[in-house]
Structure 1
Amino acid sequence: MAHEMPCPADTARSLWQAWWQALLEVVRDKGVLLLLAGAPVLYGFFYPWFYGPEVVQRVAVAVVDQDGSGLSRQITRFVQASPRLDLRWVGSDEASAQRALLRGEIEGYLLLPPDLKRHVVRGQAVSATVQANAAYPLVSKAVQLGFAEAVGTASAGVEMRQLQARGQSLWQAQLGREPVRLQSLALFNPIEGYGSFVVPAVALIILQQTLLMGVAMRVATWAEAGRQRASARAWAGRLLAFCTLGGISGLFYFGWIFLMNAYPSGGNPLGALVLLACYVPAVVVLGCLLGWWMANRERVLQVLLFTALPLAFLAGFSWPAEALPEPLQALRWLAPSTAGIQASLRLNQLGASLADVWPQLLALLALGLGGLLWLAWLHRPWARRPA
């Protein structure tokens, strides 16, 4: 008996219907819809908001002046002029400054020791001590840099005057003090802001975790109802529906969120689209496998909710991957976020070409294809239990 081959138009129509049916099921599931559509929007607006100022400025500090000379007063004026610092108190009692630091009234202080000017005039080395609250690294960094710039500016002026006193002209003194001029310029983070550093990387973690939890919850719901074993066409529609929602979230971050917060982006927009085409399916397939394995909606949240922070450390942008134990250096590539973050930073922020990120894209393709084959193996006919 001859069998009629399905028409390509009928196949496409059936796939479209399966995609639409899966999309409707996701929309009707309020918990899954909140994770796949609501959570990315909420995180996209509120997470960057905490890093809006970008750079720590006007940190409350004090100066302990135990010298009382013109040089120490000049350093104090430079501290007042620093945009990083907000000079709240000037005195000679270090114990008072320490108490103010412990009470949280200031975040650090500069100690100018006795006989500061006398040692400088004699050409002797002298140290100015900086004490800062190290509980907040960004604040401590602002305190140290602000005081270092103030003291360095005053020190440069003293050195210039000493060179001129020895008979050198102003130009000769400038050239002798700094024969090779150093100009520091941040290429890919011009304002050197913390938000511009952390949000573009964490965006991939947010996209992965919301997509993982939403997909796994929906698949676990199907497993609870005994519907995880559907036809190949139905599963293709499900995967396409999940990828559609994940792709929209990715475009929302790469486009609107990065532009709205003025983060460095747009280096290689076409490459970023290729990255999303590899990243989203890899995450979706992983979510399907996790949902199939757990087969319980609540368990999905219980397990995945606490994995975001470890994955962020394993990704290699906030903690050097070389400092991880060797087993973790290999296992971290099983998470799509590891390759996704490294490729995204290169394409979006550094303007790299696709040739520069092919190892990361290959890793994502391998994860997606391997997960798809595993999903097909779980769906094999001989593994079905008899009704």
Structure 2
Amino acid sequence: MANPLGLLQALAASARREGALLLRRPWDLAFISWVPLLGVALVWWIFSAGQPRALPIGVLDADHSSISRQLTRFLAATPGLQVAQQFNSTAEAEAALRTAQVYGVVLIPRDLARDLKQGRAATVTLLHNAQLGTHSSLIQRDVRSAVGTLSAGIEMSARTKRGEPAHSVRVAMEPLRADLITLFNASTDYEQFLAAALIPALLHILAMGAGAWMVGRELRDRSLADWLGPHAAWPQVAGALLGKLLWPWLGLGGVALLALCGMTWGRGWHPAGSVLWTGVALAVFMALSIALGAWVAALTRSLRTALSATGFVTAPAFAFGGVGFPLLAMPWGAQAWARALPYTHYIRVQMEQLQMGAPLAYSLRTPVVMLLVTVLLLAATALALRKAALQPASWGKR
């Protein structure tokens, strides 16, 4: 049976040793302190506006009528759009699109006003770059809204002049309406939606990398015996591992919780769900990420392999997390890979609590399971280190 006192003594000694190493190696300390803090601040700053506004578009007006000028004013008055340029030819518009001076071009056809006055339909064309998915969808929405508003105004004005009652005109214009009710993130705030999801993904990469580096560094430098002690008994190995990984968990976990509080309460956002439970899940997620990196390093006994595995697991985590692309729309193989990644399960808890305001019962199970997996990974890492301690010939791998 493990000796609890021996484990605690080994934990304290390892924590002191690792703390001294971090003070002598400022870049190792930066990896778990100010570098993640700077990365989090950068992500927040990028999305701090909340909503993309004043996306530059161009207008090619071939009609030069009062209606075409009114449409241009409607486009310019839309908060999401900015009429940055007015073109005289399609060649100018094409060049501006290709060089990304504008993200879309509205083509107003010749004789637009004449066709409308004669009761014929007219078409306004939007050229946009669908490779820029977010830009394209927002521009399409706002241009459609501006054109629809102008079109409805023209039709209502014409019917009113013919003597139709205003109420009948409104019913005739829209006999069937769709009532769209936004349940979550009604303001479509990208800071709450995208930045809040990207920050844990960034910290996930750093946390697994920190776990791999902390353990792999001892194997690379052939200092395993100095760290684990001469006998490498089970309590000493387990305590030494916990003491070493305590620092990255405190550093990265502290940055993660600071970011969570800053993105919610600090920005005046008070989610309907539990910020506290989301913080618990985030702290466990950081521990799981660190333990996963440490386990890969101890298993492979190679720092290079462990860091490569870190990139393989964490780099695509956001893409497979179901935030940017629906999880259920992925092929079954991609869905299986997504469900094997820790980030997918954490981000679901965060979305349930922060965006959806779900009852706490919906999110209780995932952090508990993540904690259990973390304990199992730490036990497996300690076992692998104990075996490695008996085989010094395997140390020193890059």
TM-score normalized with structure 1 length: 0.82
Question: SS state of the match for residue 63, structure 1?
Answer: strand
* Aligned mates of 1:367, 1:313 — CA distance in 2: 23
Among 371, 376, 386, the residue aligned to 1:370:
376
Q: Is residue 226 from structure 1 mapped to residue 232 from structure 2 by the alignment?
A: no
Q: 1:253 to 1:110 in 2, by over 3 A?
A: same
Match of 1:172 in 2: 168
Q: 1:275 to 1:89 in 2, by over 3 A?
A: closer
Moved more, 299-308 or 46-55: 299-308
* Aligned mates of 2:340, 2:377 — CA distance in 1: 11
Question: SS state of the match for residue 105, structure 2?
Answer: strand
Among 262, 266, 280, the residue aligned to 2:286:
280
* Aligned mates of 1:133, 1:235 — CA distance in 2: 51
Q: Is residue 114 from structure 1 mapped to residue 120 from structure 2 by the alignment?
A: no
Match of 1:24 in 2: 19
Among 73, 78, 81, the residue aligned to 1:77:
73
Match of 2:209 in 1: 213
Q: 1:381 to 1:216 in 2, by over 3 A?
A: closer
Unmatched runs of 5 consecutive residues or more in structure 2: 394-398
Question: SS state of the match for residue 358, structure 2?
Answer: coil
Match of 2:322 in 1: 316
* Aligned mates of 2:60, 2:258 — CA distance in 1: 50
Residues 5-61 of structure 1 show CA distances to partners (whole Å, capped at 9, x for unaligned) of 98x8x6796377346425525633434322211222111111222233333322333
Match of 1:333 in 2: 339
Match of 1:136 in 2: 132
Give the partner amino acid of 1:17: A
* Aligned mates of 2:344, 2:355 — CA distance in 1: 16
Q: 1:366 to 1:159 in 2, by over 3 A?
A: farther
Q: Using the TM superposition, give the Cα deviation of residue 204 of structure 1 relative to its aligned residue in structure 2, in angstroms.
A: 1.4
Q: Using the TM superposition, give the Cα deviation of residue 200 of structure 1 relative to its aligned residue in structure 2, in angstroms.
A: 1.0
Contact 1:67 1:112 (C-alpha < 8 Å) held by counterparts:
yes
Give the partner amino acid of 2:297: G
Match of 1:347 in 2: 353
* Aligned mates of 2:8, 2:91 — CA distance in 1: 80
Q: Using the TM superposition, give the Cα deviation of residue 219 of structure 1 relative to its aligned residue in structure 2, in angstroms.
A: 1.0
Q: 1:74 to 1:301 in 2, by over 3 A?
A: same
Question: SS state of the match for residue 191, structure 2?
Answer: helix
* Aligned mates of 1:93, 1:239 — CA distance in 2: 63
Residues 55-92 of structure 1 show CA distances to partners (whole Å, capped at 9, x for unaligned) of 33223333223334433232122123222333244466
* Aligned mates of 2:20, 2:204 — CA distance in 1: 21
* RMSD across aligned positions (CA): 3.4
Moved more, 241-250 or 294-303: 294-303
Q: Using the TM superposition, give the Cα deviation of residue 348 of structure 1 relative to its aligned residue in structure 2, in angstroms.
A: 2.6
Q: Is residue 34 from structure 1 mapped to residue 30 from structure 2 by the alignment?
A: yes
Matched positions, count: 381
Question: SS state of the match for residue 50, structure 1?
Answer: helix
Question: SS state of the match for residue 79, structure 1?
Answer: helix
Q: Is residue 160 from structure 1 mapped to residue 166 from structure 2 by the alignment?
A: no
Question: SS state of the match for residue 127, structure 2?
Answer: strand
Among 41, 46, 61, the residue aligned to 2:57:
61
Unmatched runs of 5 consecutive residues or more in structure 1: none
Moved more, 19-28 or 45-54: 19-28
* Aligned mates of 1:295, 1:72 — CA distance in 2: 69
Mapping of residues 234-313 of structure 1, within 5 Å:
234-260=240-266, 265=271, 267-305=273-311, 307-313=313-319
Moved more, 37-46 or 18-27: 18-27
Q: Using the TM superposition, give the Cα deviation of residue 151 of structure 1 relative to its aligned residue in structure 2, in angstroms.
A: 1.1
* Aligned mates of 1:50, 1:278 — CA distance in 2: 27
Give the partner amino acid of 2:249: C
Q: 1:259 to 1:109 in 2, by over 3 A?
A: same
Question: SS state of the match for residue 39, structure 1?
Answer: helix
Instruction: State the identity %.
Output: 26
Give the partner amino acid of 1:272: T
Among 48, 68, 74, the residue aligned to 1:52:
48
Contact 1:334 1:367 (C-alpha < 8 Å) held by counterparts:
no
